[in-house]
Structure 1
Amino acid sequence: MGKWKRDPKVPYPSVWREYQVKSKTSDEIYNFQIQDATIDILPDMIDHMLKYYWADEPVAECFDVINDAESKPYLEGFYSEIVNAKTPLVCFKIENDGSKQLVGCNMTLAMEPEDSYSDIPTSPLLKDYISVFLEADKKINEFEKFGVSVCLKAVGLAINRKYRGLGLATEILKARTEFCKALKIPLTTTQFTSGGSQAAARKAGFIFLEETKYADIHKVLPHLPLANIKHPVTQLWYKTIDLN
């Protein structure tokens, strides 16, 4: 993956955002904290992503990644690599006794123009999965369009189903702005693959840039199992960061 290094002057782990919201089913007030991921919670992050991203994300669901035993070691290795790069964000629910429950993950990573997802060691199934997004990404080169040398991208945003509908995805995306400001990253982009994530991007201040129909990708890559995908499009959204 990339050669980008986090500035050691920026405290790690840092808390980037705190969020309070009322439960949908009771008068309980939930307190959430969005911060840097750390290697000690990697096993919990892997379990979370398998349960809430790879089981639910529209493209992953088509590929049935969750049931591909060959892919899991590659996912574990990749997640370990980006957590060690100190770029992913996690959301904790803060309990009344001060303990923390992991309820959200955004697998963000800082990429430079020469970096590519195609360089990631992977299983045959994950290689096909990645090819969907490599095809979508051919439309726009964000580095050239925005004239930047580093961009914060993401390879998965997932919220515990129990806490969906409370705005956590939006808050995590907002936290990316604070992260980028501190780390001097001028741009963040993501291919958002579902209606829910696209709505969260809009609420978080991201701007729509480009849309790709999975049907068009299927025409180019007909061997991929995209015919029955639940959501018709992936959308590229961006947010520029004021570093002044």
Structure 2
Amino acid sequence: MSEREYPKIWSEFERTVEGKGVLKFVIEDVPESMWGAAVEFMLGNYVEEDVWWSTAGTAQDQEAIEEYRVLWNSIIKQKLSLACFLVQDDGEKILVGVNMCRIQEQGQFVEHKPPKTKAGLLSLRMFAEAMKVTTIHEKYDVSAYLMGAGLSVATQYRGLGISVELLKCRMLLAKEVGLIVTGGIFTSTAAQRVAEKAGMECLHQLSYKDFGEQCEIDFNTSTENLKVFGKRIE
């Protein structure tokens, strides 16, 4: 990975919200001082709402949460994750969104201490099955790409397009570190809509019914399909 400016501001944008006026946001690399806060942010709504982790029961298992704390701490130290902050009038920044990212090399698996909890093992099984699909590497003929490892926005700031902005900045980050592709697994209907709005293309989809049979897991979700999205960065 080439040397680059870190932390770097990738985007600044505004949104007009009824009753709140004009809100100012900035997307930047998660600075080292915010690594812990970003991990805890992801351990909040994300593990409760995401199709995979809710199916596995991660949020109800403190030991499983600790396993993911260790994993995300490992990922965030790679300095490839993004944060969106609300910038207040006095300059104070409030964390409102995070996109955890890592480089995914072909044939490589996530390097972390194997989970021991039931929820952790279920999640690992899902990821192992999903990663058998090498669509992104094959479609774009690359050996590595910048993969999303989780994206979440604070509930009170949803509907403002923050997730789309985070994905667009992820494309800029990928290019900055010498990668020409970004992509990943999008588990829910909402996340899949965000990928489409950001200009990513669906490369592979599999019904949760069939995926559940592969994993020997019953997915309790209204989302019909698991989808893999990718984007070549021009």
Partner of 1:132: 126
The two structures, once aligned, show a CA RMSD in angstroms of 1.6
Partner of 1:3: none
Q: How does 1:38-117 map to 2 (within 5 A)?
A: 38-117=31-110
Helix, strand or coil for the counterpart of 2:106?
A: coil
Q: How does 1:197-212 map to 2 (within 5 A)?
A: 197-212=191-206
**Offset of 1:107 from its aligned partner?**
0.7
Helix, strand or coil for the counterpart of 2:2?
A: coil
Q: Which residue of 159, 163, 168 maps to 1:169? A: 163
Query: Residue type matched to 1:79 in 2?
Result: W
Helix, strand or coil for the counterpart of 2:108?
A: coil
Helix, strand or coil for the counterpart of 1:138?
A: coil
**What TM-score do you get using the length of structure 2 for normalisation?**
0.93
**Offset of 1:141 from its aligned partner?**
4.0
Helix, strand or coil for the counterpart of 2:54?
A: helix
Alignment check: 8 A CA contact 2:185 2:228 kept? yes
Give, in whole Å, the separation in 2 of the partners of 1:216 and 1:234. Answer: 10
**What TM-score do you get using the length of structure 1 for normalisation?**
0.89
Task: Name the count of aligned residue pairs.
Answer: 232
> Structure 1 residue runs of 4+, over 6 Å off?
none
1:7 maps onto 2:2 in alignment: yes
**Offset of 1:27 from its aligned partner?**
5.0
Gaps of 5+ in 2: none
Partner of 1:241: 233
Between 1:181-190 and 1:139-148, the stretch displaced more is: 139-148
Partner of 2:25: 32
Give, in whole Å, the separation in 1 of the partners of 2:224 and 2:145. Answer: 26
1:216 maps onto 2:210 in alignment: yes
Give, in whole Å, the separation in 2 of the partners of 1:189 and 1:15. Answer: 21
Alignment check: 8 A CA contact 1:192 1:198 kept? yes
Helix, strand or coil for the counterpart of 2:175?
A: helix
Between 1:52-61 and 1:100-109, the stretch displaced more is: 52-61
Give, in whole Å, the separation in 2 of the partners of 1:137 and 1:212. Answer: 13
**Offset of 1:72 from its aligned partner?**
2.2
**Offset of 1:221 from its aligned partner?**
2.5
**Offset of 1:204 from its aligned partner?**
0.6
Between 1:127-136 and 1:66-75, the stretch displaced more is: 127-136
Distance 1:212 1:137, change over 3 A: farther
Give, in whole Å, the separation in 2 of the partners of 1:51 and 1:80. Answer: 15
Alignment check: 8 A CA contact 2:135 2:204 kept? no
Give, in whole Å, the separation in 2 of the partners of 1:200 and 1:21. Answer: 17
Helix, strand or coil for the counterpart of 2:168?
A: helix
Please list the CA deviations of residues 37-96 of structure 1 after superposition, one character each: whole Å capped at 9, or x if unmatched: 123212211221122210111221122211111112221221221221111111111111
